[in-house]
Structure 1
């Protein structure tokens, strides 16, 4: 008994989701969240402004000896001034990768204070040791470009920490008159990920919440069970962007839930 891998098989293109649910006794959805969050700043699509995921994927492919792809083009940061916007673990990956790619300087710009950063504290310490500069309490306002439309700087405004919001985190508020520009040759947007479109789920009976995440574990359902009882889901697609270990734990729970489903059917 083993695992069969069906590569280059896209749900909704090569096979329908209903085909899967018809053929198998249980289906697990672990598609993650690949919707890249944007800042909606002017010139966000200018040359030199890139998203975190394509940047990291391209250089991982290079390390693995895979050919460059149109979907994930390589970004040369050697000898360049790199600024990364964000404060999570993906931000840390971009910062430390840029250091290893011999960038002239690498700066992290984060809108809250250091204690509010969601990223790993160890990663922050390691990044500092490797030469990353951190600018806390700064919020992006605009992207500056030259006459050819290429990135030259990111416009920032300093912030002060305000009262906690509904999520318990203190909200940054701009400080009037504190605007400044941070020169940059490469600007990496690392604001995190949100649920991507899953049109192949339409009509399946599986429910999504207001953020587009898959709903599981409602009253009368197992913890990882969707509203289509033979379909289970876990990881980022259910809880939002999180750590790999969290997704692994959800996979284990889903396996237990599937066994419970099978035992119930057998009885």
Structure 2
């Protein structure tokens, strides 16, 4: 392997949203042996860089599922925004089904209503973890709004018609699976990339903004064949890069669909699965 690409949430990041010492050490060791490492995430750059900095890692970042790619020193390599027409179609579906949504734009992260998102996360966490601390969840969500400099607005119709605003991703959250299915069905024939990073979300990008495409472009720029790439992920927005990489690795906590398409499965993100996968290839190859 000459290149390693890793997702963040549910993959590189552990259950408390941090890069473990084990994962950081394994990445550093790979870099020291001449292996390129890139992060491929659904997060915006500002959200992705924070946990990497805490782990003393400086890596190239494929952000927003491939909508914007950056070098390790924050130089933009490529940008693939949604067209205004496609953004409008997505927006209309979101509004029709009355779901919470966010727009990642060149003017920052815009969202509908913070209280709605807090309620969605509380219901989701309570359904999956009966011992959840509601006050703690609300505090973390509100901190996310601060960390990612979220602007709340109801004027999305004007935003999609503003030629100065580029929309790179639209993210939907809802605990109502019927709404997720209905939105997917409505937009399924539209030339838009539709993925997800959790069971309660949908992510919409331009068709050129996919992790697999961005990873292939990065590999090509380094003179690396995709056969020499290892990619790690856990959910549907990782699917394209896991399929295209020579070695696709599913996390132990990955969805069944992701596990089905990967020949290799590592440990969970809480068990430093990225480090385990990296150490395995370091033991079996000569750099």
Instruction: Report the TM-score, using the length of structure 2 for normalisation.
Output: 0.28
Choose 1 or 2 for highest CA Rg. Answer: 1
Which structure features the higher share of helix residues?
Answer: 2
Q: TM-score, normalised by structure 1?
A: 0.29
